Copies of this chain bind each other. A is one copy, B any other.
Amino acid sequence: MKKIAIGQAGGPTSVINATLVGFVKQTMSKCSLSFIRNGYDGLVHGEFIEGNDTTLQWITQHEKVPGACLGSGRYPLSDEEIEKAVRILREKRIDALVFIGGNGTMEALYKVGVEANRQGYDLQVIGLPKTVDNDLGCTDHAPGFGSAAKYVAQTTRDMSRDLHAMQNFEQVRILETMGRNAGWLAAASGFLKTYEEEGPHFIALPERQMNHEKLLQSVETALYRYGFAIVVVSEGVLWNQGAQVERDVVGGRSVLGGISKEIELYLKQELNIMARSELLGMNQRSYSLAVSSVDQSEAYFVGVTGADWIKEGRSGLMVAIERTKGLAYSIHLKPVALGAVVRAGERVMPDQFIDNLKSYYEWLEPIIGDHVSPYPPLFQMRDVKSS
């Protein structure tokens, strides 16, 4: 009976457990499963959980639960630790190693595979994608992104209505999204925008140089026309041509957050208005009421497919999503070499989407799945007849 170890790594998403459950349900009757706690940290420290009846039952209850139920986390592996990881897997006679994660996870998995190979140890490695930032290469999109995008889009539309009503008290709100160096999530904020007067009125993406003049102009125009302005900024946008705005550094990894506050202060000073910045925060990756049903089921089938590939003896691959050609949206899960994913690096938004957000939103629509239907138009100041 094949022995498989599976773990989750990186920031959780609201559907990363769906991938785990898809994998487990497809595997549990045919293989011996063990679960790695807390991502690569647990792998290096030998924290494995036996896949007995109790744990299997417990895990399969998580199909619709956010967070990573095995524990996840960030843990950059040194070369020594990769060697150690391989030794541990070998001692445990693991035949296949599976990790659900993003760029960092795929790179580590690739290296583990190479090291096993070097030692002449026949280890299958399969990567299952997840990321809310959508910055994973070689796949049309990654599970987790659709739900996060839905959260950001709905938040922006709802806050437009809220701020519009408060304009005699507060005029500008700056919403900061996740995304690190990729603007997919920030750009998704405009997906539900139906009317000119609705926010966002300005979106700042990390792919482009911040343009203070254009920011100011867009906000002033919105204030003049609609009485309020919504600005959306990706956490990774560079301010003043300098560095990204950090709120913390943990284990050498920069925790971004604060660019929205810089913009708040700037706009207050330039325009003498009341502005408020908001980090949209961890709800982007965990809020269960915003889960996209399409994202949820794709996440699940990515897990199922990974399990099938293990059974077929495939290795060194990530399960990637490809859109099938045709009018209606449908996907095909295809193998890409882990090495290719590593070489592709962080995937930022392509120019054709940045320059034409409409085409981006057409691409995005099926991934976001069901969403609230459009609201009626906002009342505008110029409609009011003072008497």
Contact = CB atoms under 8 A, between A and B. Distances in A.
Nearest to A161: B67
This protein's copies in its complex: 2
Contacts of A74: 166, 168-169
Nearest to A60: B376
Interface string A272-302: 0010101111110111111000000000000
A341 to B, nearest CB: 23
Instruction: Name the residue among A65, A167, A276, A281 with the largest chain B CB count within 10 angstroms.
Output: A281
A266 interface: no
Interface stretch (A7-15, A202-210, A313-321): A7-15
A223 to B, nearest CB: 15
Contact of A250 (B154, B170, B173, B375): B170
Interface residues of A, number: 75
Contacts of A289: 154, 289-290, 372
A73 interface: yes
Contacts of A38: 165, 167-168
Interface string A139-170: 00000000000000011001111111111111
A158 B17 CA distance: 13
A288 B154 contact: yes
A169 B14 contact: no
Contacts of A169: 73-74, 250-251, 253
Contacts of A71: 164-165, 167-168, 379
Interface string A35-77: 0011101000111111000000010011001111111111100
Contact of A47 (B45, B65, B384): B384
